[in-house]
């Protein structure tokens, strides 16, 4: 279903797969020789859950004392203890845990040590205590609990100032040379515009879940090919106006990238892995195809962005989240199976992100905007079956709470992102370029990737 938020994000895809609608004056960098395509391959897949996922009903204590605390605070949002799917946490912080009953596929992957969770992670300017928050003696991210602002801060990993680029884009800027003279951007979005993939030189290439959109009216026939050639010549004419010149350049790149991408996707064998017939399933299936086409595209590094909407569960949360987590679990499981089929499960890491968590206490049939939350990390290189970070004390007005049932993050987005960026190939010396505030935090590598 197309929602208002989806529509706004995807309007940039309407004409054709734009090679970067944001900051169109910047050019794609074409750097020199690199290792042969596929010989040192890695991919990051950001799966953004727009609206603010209620992770308090994703990872739940299921032992007697932990569940009693959980159920007392959650009231009518408490999942039945008998419905929780047991997970074997190799480093349990004192509880026994279970997943939401809609997450059977992810339960299996966690118990196979392919999936990990990073607990109570969120946007921070610097480490923050409850007393500092309540007394107003330390800086906090601006516009806390705002969907748009917090989603952007998650994607930029800069919580104390505006940033035109995302941390994925800045990582792509540094590593683009590994893709040699590839004619397609390292960063591809299947879910419309995003800040995460915007770099200073590398721009995201936007496509749909069905592939590159291309131009209408060019069917490959002799006459249409002549028209296309004439169109390209018109676009390439010199222009004195800077805006017109930038627009023409972006349009030309988009046409060229569409041709390369369409040809590469046409040369790959069909996947045997079955994906669920959902919007997220279709996005992840396309990402799997793009990974399959990596050699034809000349790629040693790829960054992908996909997304699901509907996680702003102020009401009817029990029903809504049940369906959302079924979609999430089935799609992520199918995607992991596809990476196994393609022989790259060790080289592809998928991670979730979301605007924020949600309040621990129920708001009638839903929850309100929170702060710290738990995120999923999936892949063959993941040191799975474990929880990373510090699991919050489940108590309203407790040591991890703002007084409103919102967890103050004990792990920063910076630390979470730095761990992913380091695995992807960003050196320790370049880490501060990708994550300017990482020096303020104690754990630039949380250890969830081997």
The pairing of beta strand 373-378 with beta strand 59-61: unpaired
Q: Of 263, 235, 254, 302, which Cα lies nearest the Cα of 18?
A: 254
The answer to whether 372 touches 398, Cβ cutoff 8 Å, is no
* The token pair that represents 294 in the structure block: 């990596």
> Is 308 strand, coil or helix?
strand
Structure confidence at residue 297 as a pLDDT band (50, 70, 90): very high
The answer to whether 48 touches 306, Cβ cutoff 8 Å, is yes
* The token pair that represents 327 in the structure block: 């979609």
The answer to whether 208 touches 329, Cβ cutoff 8 Å, is no
Lowest mean pLDDT among 96-100, 187-191, 231-235: 231-235
State the Cα angle at 213 between 206 and 278, rounded to 5°: 75
Give the global pTM.
0.91
319-367 confidence digits (pLDDT tens): 999 999 999 999 999 999 999 999 999 999 999 999 999 999 999 899 9
55-75 confidence digits (pLDDT tens): 999 999 999 999 999 999 999
Question: Would you state the torsion angle of the CA atoms of residues 441, 410, 47, 206, taken in this order, to the nearest 10 degrees?
Answer: -40
Could you tell me the CA-to-CA distances from 260 to 192, 197, 323, 396 in Å, in that order? 20, 20, 37, 54
29-64 confidence digits (pLDDT tens): 333 344 566 569 999 999 999 999 999 999 999 999
pLDDT (mean) for 141-153: 97
Structure confidence at residue 427 as a pLDDT band (50, 70, 90): very high
Structure confidence at residue 253 as a pLDDT band (50, 70, 90): confident
pLDDT at 15: 33
Q: What is the DSSP letter of 190?
A: S
d(CA 291, CA 157): 26
d(CA 336, CA 382): 12
* The token pair that represents 169 in the structure block: 């884009």
Question: Percentage of residues in the chain with pLDDT exceeding 70?
Answer: 91
pLDDT (mean) for 9-31: 36
Residue 215 has pLDDT above 90, yes or no: no
pLDDT (mean) for 185-197: 97
Domain boundaries, the chain: 4-440
Half-sphere exposure of 361 (CA within 13 A, CB side): 11
* The token pair that represents 194 in the structure block: 């995003």
């Amino acid at each position: 279903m197309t929602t208002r938020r989806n529509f706004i994000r995807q309007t940039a895809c309407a004409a054709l797969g734009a090679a970067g609608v944001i900051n169109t004056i910047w050019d794609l960098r074409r750097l020199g020789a690199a290792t042969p395509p596929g010989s040192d391959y890695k991919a990051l897949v950001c799966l953004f859950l727009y609206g603010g996922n209620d992770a308090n009903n994703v990872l739940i204590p299921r032992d007697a004392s932990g569940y009693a605390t959980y159920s007392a605070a959650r009231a009518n949002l408490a999942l039945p203890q008998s419905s929780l799917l047991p997970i074997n946490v190799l480093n349990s912080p004192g509880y026994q845990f279970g997943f939401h009953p809609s997450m059977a596929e992810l339960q299996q992957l966690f118990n196979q040590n392919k999936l990990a969770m990073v607990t109570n992670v969120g946007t921070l300017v610097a480490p923050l205590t409850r007393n500092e928050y309540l007394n107003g003696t330390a800086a906090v991210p601006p516009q806390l609990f705002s969907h748009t602002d917090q989603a952007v801060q998650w994607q930029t990993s800069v919580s104390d100032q505006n940033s035109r680029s995302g941390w994925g884009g800045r990582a792509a800027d540094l590593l683009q040379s590994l893709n040699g003279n590839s004619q397609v951007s390292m960063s591809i979005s299947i879910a419309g515009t995003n800040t995460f993939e915007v770099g200073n030189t590398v721009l995201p290439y936007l496509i749909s879940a069905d592939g590159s959109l291309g131009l209408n009216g060019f069917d490959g026939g002799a006459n249409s090919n002549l028209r296309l050639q004439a169109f390209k010549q018109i676009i390439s004419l010199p222009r004195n106006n800077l805006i017109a010149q930038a627009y023409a350049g972006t349009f030309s790149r988009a046409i060229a990238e569409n041709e390369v991408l369409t040809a590469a996707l046409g040369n790959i064998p069909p996947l045997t892995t079955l994906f669920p017939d959902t919007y997220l399933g279709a996005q992840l299936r396309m990402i799997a195809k793009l990974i399959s086409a990596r050699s034809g595209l000349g790629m040693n590094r790829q960054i992908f962005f996909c997304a699901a909407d509907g996680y702003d569960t102020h009401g009817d949360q029990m029903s809504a989240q049940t369906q959302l987590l079924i979609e999430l679990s089935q799609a992520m499981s199918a995607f992991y199976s596809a990476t196994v089929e393609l022989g790259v499960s060790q080289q592809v890491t998928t991670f979730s992100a979301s605007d924020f968590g949600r309040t621990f206490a129920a708001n009638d049939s839903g929850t309100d905007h929170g702060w710290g939350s738990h995120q999923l990390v999936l892949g063959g290189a993941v040191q799975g079956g474990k929880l990373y970070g510090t699991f919050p004390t489940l108590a309203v007005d407790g040591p991890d709470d703002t007084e409103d049932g919102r967890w103050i993050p004990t792990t920063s987005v910076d630390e979470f992102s730095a761990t992913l960026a380091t695995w992807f190939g960003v050196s320790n010396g370049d880490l501060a370029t990708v994550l300017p505030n990482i020096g303020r935090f104690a754990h630039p590598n949380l250890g969830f990737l081997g």
